[in-house]
């Protein structure tokens, strides 16, 4: 009778240790994945804080349905994937407000709504990447010609979530 009790107790202890080990490993794995996700979120937010975009809203060239402006990277983060940038533009034509989400277009001449990076200056360090201190000329094509004397609103967001926005005046619409 005594030996059977010892064997049953030993089996119970082994089962208890196996369950405890499984619970601890599951907890460790979930804590590890949670801390990795938190680190990635902090790194993304840090990149966002280091990114500064600016547009000279006083100098927009508007010709027919084409709007050209210069975007400057004044922060410390390079913008690698320019095609993933978002542009939202609202043009106030008299009493009608037209708001457009403008997608990137590789062939800007064959679209009625799109934008393209025309030129990056100076683009000596990383060609095709908007590095800190560089200026990118952007050309936007909208479906309707902006009317001279009206107002527009431009918002540009980088892939990491940093953005700039402001009003521009339609001065010379041809």
Any idea which residue has 């790194």 for tokens? 43
Q: How many CA atoms lie within 13 A of 115 on its CB side?
A: 26
> Residue 49: which pLDDT band, with cuts at 50, 70 and 90?
confident
**Segments making up each domain of the chain, as ranges:** 1-50, 53-169
Neighbours of 76 (CB within 10 A): 12
pLDDT tens figures, 29-40 = 999 999 999 998
**Amino acid 1: pLDDT:** 58
Nearest of 57, 85, 65, 69 to residue 165 by alpha carbon: 57
Q: For residue range 53-95, what is the model confidence (pLDDT) as tens digits?
A: 999 887 888 888 899 999 999 999 999 999 999 999 998 877 7
Q: How many Cβ atoms sit within 10 Å of the Cβ of residue 170?
A: 19
Q: φ and ψ at 168, to 5 degrees?
A: -135, 155
CA separation for the pair 121, 129 (Å, rounded)? 10
What pLDDT was estimated at residue 86?
Answer: 94
CATH number for the 53-169 domain, one of 3.40.190.10, 3.40.50.920, 2.60.40.10, 2.40.170.20? 2.60.40.10
**Per-residue confidence (pLDDT) for residue 172, from 0 to 100:** 65
Share of the chain above pLDDT 90, in %: 57
For residue 1, the tally of other CB atoms under 10 A from its CB is: 4
Residue-level length of the chain = 174
pLDDT for 174 beyond 60: no
Q: Cα 27 to chain center, whole Å?
A: 33
The CA radius of gyration of the chain, in Å to the nearest whole number, is 28
């Amino acid at each position: 009778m005594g030996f059977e009790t010892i064997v049953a107790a030993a089996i119970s202890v082994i089962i208890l240790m196996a369950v405890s080990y499984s619970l601890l490993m599951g907890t460790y794995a979930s804590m590890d994945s949670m801390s990795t996700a938190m680190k990635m979120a902090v790194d993304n937010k840090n990149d966002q804080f280091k990114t500064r975009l600016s547009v000279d809203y006083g100098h927009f060239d508007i010709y027919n349905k084409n709007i050209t402006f210069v975007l400057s990277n004044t922060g410390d983060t390079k913008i690698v994937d320019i095609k993933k940038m978002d542009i939202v533009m609202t043009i106030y034509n008299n009493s009608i407000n037209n708001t457009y989400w403008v997608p990137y277009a590789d062939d800007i001449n064959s679209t009625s709504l799109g934008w393209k990076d025309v030129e990056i200056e100076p683009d000596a360090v990383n060609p095709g990447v908007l590095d800190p201190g560089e200026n990118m000329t952007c050309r936007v094509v909208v479906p309707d010609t902006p009317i001279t004397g009206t107002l527009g609103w431009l918002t540009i967001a980088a892939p990491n979530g940093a953005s700039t926005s402001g009003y521009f005046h339609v001065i010379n619409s041809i």
